[in-house]
Amino acid sequence: MLSNARINIPGGIDFTLPRMVPVRQHFERHTIADVAAAVSAQLSRPEIAATIRPGASIAVGVGSRGVANIDIAVKTIIAELKARRAKPFVFPAMGSHGGGNAEAQASLLAGYGIEEGSIGAPVRATMETVVVAETDQGIPIHMDKYAHGADGVVIINRVKPHTSYRGPVESGVLKMMIIGMGKIAGASAIHGGYSMDDFGAIIPHAAEVLMRHVPILFGIGLVEDAFDTTAVVEAMTPEVLFERESALQAKAKELMARLLVDDIDVLVVDEIGKNISGSGADPNVTGRNARGAAGFDKPRVRKMVLLDLNDATKGNATGFASADVITQRLFDRTDLGVTLSNVVTSSYLESAKIPLTMKDGDAAVRIAVKTLHNTDPMRARIVRIRNTLELVDIHLSEPMLDEISGNPRLEVIGKPADMLY
């Protein structure tokens, strides 16, 4: 559709760009060597083990994000539940993801290695829900039909800063309990009933109400370090869930990878995807939030270019509106049906606005540099990353080298070269 557009650009974009230099960002590593053993240890804690009754049907809710070692963690949970003679099954707790389609949600889990043959328990996917309660404002709280029929529920999720709001708890077990386990109906009800700016208070409130009516046995929070590896595993009973998830949230913010330069003229991101971030590219890394929410002010990025979707996102380009420029390839790979389903559920339609679309990566970067105010292209401060999860090895433009020369956390690891796409 957009490939036929012809843009008359005064002066053109055939100018010289600065060369790019490979740079390594140094972060502390906190990797758990044996994730399965860590999960088993948590389920063996007396207060956790006491929640598991022999013969009980237990629904284990798993989300759609690319969580490190999620297959190992889920397989271990299933094994521990079965060892205690419970009858576990897995259900997708992912709101509207997968286009709000049960088969697609099961397929997303299978893509992470979570299917009956590998985990030792059935995966039961449905979009049907049961309304189990209401918030104080009268908004219905939905719950997956299969999970509602179980004797108990376990929720496992990565705990991390959210991409659209700030609060004592953000992305994690509590949010999955309300938005993920609520399927598209529950997600739509909460998003339609409240501004996302209020989620920092609403999610804990809704979770507290739900837990009065639903046998949540425990949640398992996973925290990742800057290398996208599992750093913390913690099982939490309902009595301490808010307090402990809040502590894990603080730990996640401390450990997460970030760009160690603050002022960027053009940020180039090779790929985005829902498996990387709910916003495709994590605003906690880019400083860009499609709806302009407070709390995302670093780094300061003047222009952002997105080059492509990854395969795992299956066409979901939610969040590409945070960019200034995208490529024709990214647009062509976008499944608008899946993307718009996700966006409409969130109620923030600005997340689906299509940025300026250029024929390829070179043209996209050049138009971003061209439209910088009062900036010599050869002095442009350009940063290129693969995605917002992989931030150890990045590329900086030559004009930034003097700035980082005395920083022990930024190491030049190669020679300057022209940017390739």
Q: Tell me the average pLDDT of the chain.
A: 93
Beta carbons of 322 and 304 less than 8 angstroms apart = yes
Q: What pLDDT does 293 receive?
A: 67
Q: What is the pLDDT of residues 214-250, one digit of tens each?
A: 999 999 999 999 998 999 999 999 999 999 999 999 9
**How large is the average pLDDT for residues 337-356?**
85
pLDDT at 4: 53
Give the separation between CA 350 and CA 336, rounded to whole angstroms: 14
Is 183 in the same domain as 309?
no
Residues 266 and 153 in one domain: no
Mean pLDDT, residues 245-271 = 96
Examine the pLDDT at 66 and tell me if it is beyond 80.
Answer: no
For 171: left if phi > 0, alpha if psi spans -120 to 50, otherwise beta; the answer is beta
pLDDT tens digits along 376-397: 999 999 999 999 989 999 999 9
Q: Given this model, what pLDDT does residue 1 score? A: 44
Query: HSE on the CB side for 257, CA within 13 Å?
Result: 23
Same domain, 72 and 104: yes
Backbone angles phi, psi at 335, to 5 degrees: -90, 100
Task: Map tokens 């969580």 to a residue.
Answer: 67
Q: What is the CATH number of the domain that holds 92?
A: 3.40.50.11440
pLDDT digits (tens, 9 = 90+) for 85-136: 999 999 999 998 888 899 999 999 999 999 999 999 999 999 999 999 999 9
Looking at the fold, whether 315 and 332 belong to one and the same domain comes out as yes
Query: Could you please report the per-residue DSSP string of 249-262?
Result: HHHHHHHS---S--
pLDDT value of position 19: 98
Residue 231 phi, psi dihedral angles, 5° rounding: -110, -30
Q: Check residue 274 and give its pLDDT.
A: 86
pLDDT tens by residue, 145-157: 999 999 999 999 9
DSSP 264: E
- Please say if the pLDDT value at position 281 is more than 90: yes
Can you tell me the distance from the alpha carbon of 113 to that of 122, in angstroms, rounded to the nearest whole number? 13
Does any domain span residue 418? no
C-alpha distances in angstroms, 121 versus 17, 27, 68, 358, 391?
54, 37, 20, 47, 35
- Note whether 223 and 369 are same-domain residues: no
Residue 222 sits at the vertex; the CA angle it makes with 220 and 223, to the nearest 5 degrees, is 150
CB 218 within 8 A of CB 154: yes
Q: Where are the alpha helices (DSSP H) in 239-335?
A: 241-255, 283-286, 328-332
SS3 331: helix
Tokens 């990742």 -> residue: 224
Confidence grade of residue 205 (pLDDT, cut at 50, 70, 90): very high
- 163: confidence class by pLDDT, cuts 50, 70, 90: confident
- DSSP percent split of the chain into helix, strand, coil, nearest 5: 35, 20, 40
pLDDT at 348: 78
DSSP annotation string for 52-82? --TT-EEEEEE-SS--TTHHHHHHHHHHHHH
Other Cβ atoms within 10 Å of 362 Cβ, number: 16
3-state secondary structure of 107: helix
State pLDDT tens for residues 2-41.
555 667 788 889 999 999 999 999 999 999 999 999 999 9
Looking at the structure, do residues 401 and 387 belong to the same domain, yes or no? yes
Region 36-64: mean pLDDT is 97
Domain-ending residue, one of 223, 255, 287: 255
Q: Are residues 235 and 133 part of one domain?
A: yes
28, HSE (Cβ side, Cα atoms, 13 Å): 6
Based on the fold, state whether residues 234 and 315 are members of the same structural domain.
Answer: no
Question: 157 and 171 in contact (C-beta within 8 Å)?
Answer: yes
Domain hosting 389: range is 2-27+258-412
Q: Are residues 104 and 146 located together in one domain of the fold?
A: yes
Give the whole-number percent of the chain exceeding pLDDT 70: 97
